[in-house]
Structure 1
Amino acid sequence: MAEIKQITTEELRHLDGQEGMILQGCGGDLQEWVDGINGLLTEAGILLDGSRFESVSVFQHQELTNLLFPFDGVKLDVGKLAMWRLQTHGQFGGTWLSDYVPNQLGGFTQEQQRQKPKMELLGQDGNIFGILGRASRLLKEAGQKGQADEMFRRVTSSGSYAEALHIISEYVDTELSSHTPPSKSHQKKKGRSAYER
């Protein structure tokens, strides 16, 4: 049975960098909603390999009961989910967390970005686990264990070395922090990352 935890809209504003789907106006038995959505998305081939939303959050906003289905740790076909969300929008009011918070709650709280520990990538060996370990230590020393755990989860499920470096640079202040990830055509021209050995 999925865990449904109550959160506030203020806690939602602290979820910058995370993604999920919010369904609005979920009245009645919340466990039935979660089971029903898990069933629908499995049937539609959106939830993959027996994956389910096991940890869902419920919050109140503008007299509506809303459910947040976080993508963290769930294997899904995001393209199919995007189509499903558009097709069922009239029924479920589905929206992305990253759209809901700026449009309904005034944006994400930026305090985490002001407190980012500094870490240089230049001169590091190219071992991503060594870099990840240093970044985790710095975050924990700065009292941000939750951020360190979240960073670790995101990096270990990322698809490439460059993506992993950019994720780390969201949590600690590195040379990459102020740059957006390079486009694929740009990467091809440049070849290997300057941090790879």
Structure 2
Amino acid sequence: MATITEIKAEQLRRPDTPEGLILQGCGGNLQEWVTGINDMLTEENILLDGSRFEQASVFEHQGLTNLFFPFKDVKLDMGKLAIWRLNTREQFGSMWRSDYVDNRLGGPLEENAPAQKPDCPLIGQNGNIFNLMGIASRTLKEHGMEEQAREMRSRIMESGSYDKALVIIGDYVNITSIDETDEDFEEGMDMDL
């Protein structure tokens, strides 16, 4: 069974994201989609030598649920896949990741561009520093900034002061009120502290 990871569409813009195939408008059971695409591409001799997409990502954009299949760790006949992609454009909205980023997301992020701090609704929350740290950590993870979340938590734990901890949180996120949340990010994810 393939691993399906939930991501934000913005993560596809990062320069370290591998090329891959995006299918748009994937409703229903996502595991069935991944299995079906693996089977279909195997039948068409596009996936070679028993290779399968073991990793996929799901993201929401413009009201659609989409699947991203990175080309990392799979053996493909790229010529046949390119023809298949063109033939299934109507049916699956098939696009390369790079085309999707250019045409739907405003282009890739610059290689050395500083990461933007995401908005984080902390004003009006329970002021316990562990609660605030957890909310900020979850916000960073939702924006594909797992490394920054770990770094922030480590710095907070070493700070030894509530005031210093709040300043550190502000280094990583834009602190906003719970009344100003961005609708795109209201859906919560499980957090690990």
TM-score (norm 2): 0.57
The equivalent residue for 1:155 is none
Structure with the bigger RCO (C-alpha within 8 Å, sep 6+) is 2
Q: Measure, in 2, the Cα distance between the counterparts of 1:75 and 1:3.
A: 18
Contact 1:16 1:108 in 2 (8 A): no
Shift of 1:17: 6.2
Letter in 2 for 1:55: Q
Q: Measure, in 2, the Cα distance between the counterparts of 1:112 and 1:4.
A: 29
The equivalent residue for 1:106 is 106
- Greater share of residues in strand: 2
CA-atom RMSD in angstroms: 1.9
Letter in 1 for 2:18: Q
The equivalent residue for 1:13 is 13
Runs of 4+ in 1 over 4 A off after TM superposition: none
Contact 2:11 2:17 in 1 (8 A): no
Q: Structure 1: give runs of 5+ residues left out of the alignment.
A: 115-145, 147-197
Q: How many residues align?
A: 116
The equivalent residue for 2:29 is 29
Shift of 1:112: 3.3
Change (3 A) 1:91 1:8: same
Shift of 1:18: 2.1
Q: Give CA deviations for 1:115-149 in whole Å, capped at 9, x if unaligned.
A: xxxxxxxxxxxxxxxxxxxxxxxxxxxxxxx9xxx
Q: Structure 2: give runs of 5+ residues left out of the alignment.
A: 115-146, 148-193
**What pairs up with 1:1-197 in 2 under 5 angstroms?**
1-16=1-16, 18-112=18-112
Contact 1:22 1:94 in 2 (8 A): yes
Contact 2:15 2:111 in 1 (8 A): no
Q: Measure, in 2, the Cα distance between the counterparts of 1:15 and 1:6.
A: 19
